[in-house]
Amino acid sequence: MNKNSLVVDLHMHSTSSDGVLSPSALVDLNAENHVDIMALTDHDTLEGLSEAREAANRKGIRFINGVEMTASWEKKVLHIIALDFDPENLSLKQSLEDLKLQRLDRAERIAKKLQNIGIPGSLAGAQKYAREGLITRPHFAQFLVEAGKANDPQEAFDRYLGRKKKAWVATEWPPMEKVIDTIHHAGGLAVLAHPLRYKLTASWMYRLLTAFKKTGGEGMEVVCGYYTPIEIKTSVGFALRFDLMGSVGSDFHGHSLYNNQPGTCSPLPDSLTPIWSLFKDL
Interacting residue ranges for ligand AMP, rule: CB under 6 A:
18, 43, 70, 136-138, 154, 157, 162, 257-258
- Kindly give the pairing relationship between strand 189-192 and strand 76-83: antiparallel
**Cβ 87 vs Cβ 49: under 8 Å:** yes
Give the residues across from 191 on adjacent strands. 81, 219
In the complex with ligand AMP, which residue's Cβ is closer, 54 or 231?
Answer: 231
- Report the nearest approach of ligand AMP to the CB of residue 188 (Å): 20
Are β-strands 219-224 and 189-192 bridged in parallel, bridged antiparallel, or unpaired?
parallel
Query: 221 contacts which partner out of Mn ion, ligand AMP, none, CB within 5 to 8 A by kind?
Result: none
Contact in structure between 221 and 235 (CB atoms under 8 Å): yes
Q: State the Cα–Cα distance between residues 121 and 111, nearest whole angstrom.
A: 7
Select from 106-114, 142-150, 213-221, 244-252 the region that touches Mn ion (CB under 5 A): 244-252
CA geometry: angle 248, 254, 256, nearest 5 deg: 110
Instruction: Name the residue nearer to Mn ion (CB basis): 79 or 113.
Output: 79
List binders of Mn ion among 160-219 (CB under 5 A): 193
Note whether 251 binds Mn ion by CB under 5 A: yes
Q: Which of 103, 248, 75, 87 is nearest to 183 (CA)?
A: 87
Longest pairwise C-alpha distance within the chain: 59
Query: In the complex with ligand AMP, which residue's Cβ is closer, 30 or 70?
Result: 70
Between 122 and 273, CB nearer to ligand AMP: 122
What is the number of the residue whose Cβ is closest to ligand AMP? 136
Taking CB under 5 A as the criterion, the residue among 7, 10, 16, 18 binding Mn ion is 18
Q: Is 79 in the site for Mn ion (CB under 5 A)?
A: yes
Rounded to the nearest whole angstrom, what is the least distance from the CB of residue 257 to Mn ion in the complex? 8
**Closest distance to ligand AMP from the beta carbon of 272 (Å):** 24
Which alpha helices (H) appear in 77-198, and where do they start and end? 90-116, 122-130, 137-146, 153-156, 176-185
Binding site for Mn ion (CB under 5 A): 18, 68, 79, 193, 251
